[in-house]
Structures are given as structure tokens and as C-alpha cells.
Amino acid sequence: MKRFLKLTEDGSHTLYLPEMDEHFHSIHGAIQESMHVFIANGLNRCTKTEINILEIGFGTGLNALLSLLNRQEKTIHYYSLEKYPLTEAEYSQLNYAQNYDTETQSLFLNLHHSEWGKPVQIAPGFELTKLQADLCSVDLAQFPLFDLVYFDAFAPDKQPELWTDAIFSKISAQCQPGAILTTYCAKGVIRRTLQQNGFLMHRLPGPPGKRQMLMGEKA
């Protein structure tokens, strides 16, 4: 699949996938979208000191990098699924770490260089396990119960098979009571499907360029 680098309004990169006419991140600002949806309304809402995160769509590695940088005193076990990993030529161009020191730039590359299918200690308090897999067929029971889910698949009209009752039932079954699920999507049908699978749903203000987003808590 061809993917093209694009600059978003906050100066950070996204990738454009012409085959699906879809961007990996908001054109209004990749970093500010991820910070708002997944860090401010996901990671920062978790009160546990040790948490298991499931990310749907490793993609550019942006959510993983921001979780690493904003973990504070938390110990994070980060599990990420990706069916089509980026190539080194693609991820090496991304500018997410350019405003940080060289150590942070190395950490970002380490997220991508880390071996697939096994846990890798990226930094103290941050362990990454990437799995090259299809969410529709992967067995989530191979992982520990999750405290936080970043649902960052492509939009429902682009990848409808990932936004179904069966998918959310599978995720819900692997979540701890009180687990948080956060997504940029605010569609009513998605909110209702998550409610039917045990999540108490909240509509929250969205990131720049988007009126609302969804956040749910597992009953």
C-alpha cells in the first residue's frame, strides 16, 4: 500500500493512504489529536500505577511515544496490534520527536525497531509488545486483562469490519472492570454498540477540528 507523508496544522506529520482516501491522524494536528483523545482522556484518567494498554492500530507509533513520554509514575505494559506495519523509510521521516532531545528521538525509533511478537523494554516503566495481526482474528486472551484501550482504527466507513458488535464484545471480554476505552469516533451507532458490550459511554469535546469524541468505562 502506498502511503504519503503530509504535514498537519500543528506542524506534525500524518500519513495519507490513497487506497482508502484516509489519513492516519487528523489533518488539524496529529500530535494534538493524540494528546487530547488518548492521553488526556485515556492515560491521564487511569489511576492505577501499573496498567495494561491495548492499542488498536500501532500505525506511526505516535500514541505509543506520547504514552511513553507522559507515563509519569505509571508502569505501562503496552500491547499494540498492527496488520500493515510501516517501513523504515516511512517511519524514519516522521517528525514527532524532533522537538525533543536525541534520547527521545532514539526512543521513538526503538518503538519501531523493537521485535514483533515479544515484549521489549523500551525504557524503565514502559514495556512494548507489538503483534502483527488482524483484530478480526487475533485471540486477545493471550494478553493480560486491559485497563485502557486506545481504539484508533481507521474510520467506520473505511474499515467497518473493525467497528462491529463482535469486535467490541471481544475487547470488552478482555477488559478489567473500570477499564477505559477511548476513541476519536463519536458516531451514535458506535456509542450504542459499546454500551451494549458493557461500557458506560460519555460524549466528550473532541480535539481541534472535531466536535466530539467517545470515552467509555467498563462496568
**Residue 33 belongs to some domain of the structure:** yes
Question: What's the number of domains the chain is made of?
Answer: 1
Considering the domain boundaries, does residue 106 fall inside one? yes
Domain that holds residue 188: 29-218
Strand partners, 184: none
Q: What is the pLDDT of residue 99?
A: 82
Query: In the structure grid, which three cell numbers stand for residue 98, read together?
Result: 524532533
Does 5 score more than 80 pLDDT? yes
* pLDDT per residue as tens digits for the range 144-157: 999 999 999 999 99
181: how many CB neighbours lie within 10 A of its CB?
A: 25
CATH code (residue 115): 3.40.50.150
22: in domain = no
Cα–Cα distances (Å) from 154 to 82, 107, 123, in that order, read 12, 25, 29
Confidence at 1, pLDDT banded by 50, 70, 90: confident
Asked if residue 36 is part of any domain, the answer here is yes
**Could you read off the pLDDT of 176-186 as tens digits, one per residue?**
999 999 999 99
Within-domain flag for 1: no
The enclosing H or E element of 108 equals helix 102-113
pTM of the model: 0.97
Residue 21 lies in a domain: no
| Residue 7 pLDDT > 80 | yes
90-104 pLDDT per residue, tens = 999 999 998 888 999
Instruction: Answer whether residue 14 is part of any domain.
Output: no
Identify the helix (H) or strand (E) that includes residue 7: strand 4-7
Residue 83 pLDDT greater than 80, yes or no: yes
Residue 59 lies inside a defined structural domain of this protein: yes
Dihedral sign for Cα 158, 188, 66, 207, please. Answer: positive
Whether residue 24 is predicted with pLDDT greater than 90 in this model: the reply is: yes
Residue 17's pLDDT band (boundaries 50, 70, 90)?
Answer: very high
pLDDT at residue 100, as a whole number: 87
